[in-house]
Amino acid sequence: MVPPFKIKVVEPIALPSAAQRREAIEQAGYNTFLLRSEDVFIDLLTDSGTSAVSQEQRAAMELGDEAYAGSRSFFNLERAVREAYGYRHVIPAHQGRGAEHLLAQILVEPGQIVPSNLYFTTSREHVELAGGVWVDVSVPEASDPVSRFPFKGNIDLAKLENVLRAADDRIAFIRHEACLNMAGGQPFSIANLAAVQARARAHGVPLILDATRLSENALFVKDHERGYARHSLAELARTIAGLSDGAIFSSKKDHFVPIGGLLALNDDEVARRARELVVVYEGFPHYGGLAGHDMEALAVGIRESLHEPTVRHYVEQVAYLGALLQDAGVPIVLPLGAHAVFIDARRFTPHIPQQQFPAQALAAAIYVAGGVRTMERGIVSGQHGDEPYDGLELVRLTLPRRVYTAEHLEYVARSVAEVYEARSEIPGLRMTYAPEHLRFFQARFKPLAPMPNLAQDEPAKREIVETR
């Protein structure tokens, strides 16, 4: 699909030399989070806060009301959230995890359970810091990288019912994540969400959405769930949100803002407690850690997130990159999800045992080969303490929205294909430093054998002109 926008402001990028890349990844402890962005050519680390803002967002930012309390920009944001999703109470937060923190502090008592589809790192951490216990109730297809099931974001209703029966009065809330990040970004169906809601009601338990990437979930529903083909994304977003009691949003994704998050609720008492806590951790309830201009950009971004050509173009970009990688024989997770192509490191580097961090090693190798930054989503991110882990072992190539062109994606695919040719030479890693919380962000590694010389400066790459 031809992009439904044209580019007006650009940021120069350049490929560092092969020697610089090798030096940079070593300095970064073979952790792509620890690279400097100046050492990165194409940055597919995350779609979080990295999207391009629109001219309408920039114009709205000029009108930001920076009043500490009663900011006009807050009321604009509140109106946008109510119109798009229908929630009654809107509490801004500095980003998604700020909202997760408030929610966990309010709803989770020590020993209580949060059933959820798979996990998200920060969501789980906040539940556990509040003394809660995370229980996975995802469908089995979510953890199967070769299953073509289109709704890997669904909750397994039998698993959920078992948890609810066994622990009726110890359930804090049910968490249902849109475009399930750790599975590969695949959606839930509205039918599944409605069935989860019915069970939540029957047991008197709140159902909270992680509504991050809700707009792409709505598009997948429109395209793949029977009965919704004629619905607009706006109608679908209202329907989805209307099946829940509340939501957290990391607005840094499909709301096109560099910073921002939301806690949206229908229950008056929960919202009152959230407003009590927001002043302790985020700021006055009329800004929650955001500037007035941030809230203006977010209000506009929420409306843009329901513009079908914009969302469709993005999802098709992901599909395009996925198809290029498949053509090169690279094993990826299917079906393709919302925001990223996930390489299956177990099949890419079968010679590296999981204890030697194959996805982490592969992400480092991909950087060295072409200056492309990706993210490990395997044992480093997923293992909890000393618990055994034999889950997914993936490298995520995440697309910022409205940022890269088809040529960038073709370069990425060529670069990964080169690594695939030399895959047997990629060494495993050993971890030399592991922080206590969310270790993947800052852990450090050393290769168990020298990294192969993947970093050729092939002619196509050398043509790139240094601009600074």
Q: Which residues are catalytic?
A: 68, 120-121, 210, 253, 377, 440
Nearer to ligand P71, 238 or 339 (CB): 339
Tokens at 227, concatenated: 């009965």
Beta carbons within 10 angstroms of residue 367's beta carbon: 27
Please, what is the minimum distance in Å from the beta carbon of residue 73 to ligand P71? 19
Task: Please give the full DSSP string across 330-389, using - where no structure is assigned.
Answer: --B-SS--SSEEEEEHHHHSTTS-GGG-HHHHHHHHHHHHHSEE-EEESHHHH--TT---
Nearer to ligand P71, 164 or 183 (CB): 183
Contact 403, 330 (CB under 8 A): no
> What sign has the CA pseudo-torsion 248, 192, 182, 342?
negative
Nearer to ligand P71, 181 or 317 (CB): 181
Please, what is the minimum distance in Å from the beta carbon of residue 44 to ligand P71? 10
Please, what is the minimum distance in Å from the beta carbon of residue 299 to ligand P71? 17
Place of tokens 């601009």: 467
Residue 92's DSSP bridge partners are 262
Please, what is the minimum distance in Å from the beta carbon of residue 329 to ligand P71? 27
Residue 112 has φ and ψ, to the nearest 5°, of -75, 160
Contact 344, 393 (CB under 8 A): yes
**Residue nearest to ligand P71 according to CB distances in the complex:** 96
Contact 224, 150 (CB under 8 A): yes
Nearer to ligand P71, 97 or 199 (CB): 97
- Which residue ranges make up the site for ligand P71 (CB under 6 A)? 46, 48, 95-97, 120-123, 177, 181, 210, 212, 250, 252, 261
Please, what is the minimum distance in Å from the beta carbon of residue 341 to ligand P71? 14
Contact 282, 93 (CB under 8 A): yes
My answer on whether omega of the bond before 335 falls inside 30° of 0, hence cis, is yes
Nearer to ligand P71, 171 or 182 (CB): 182
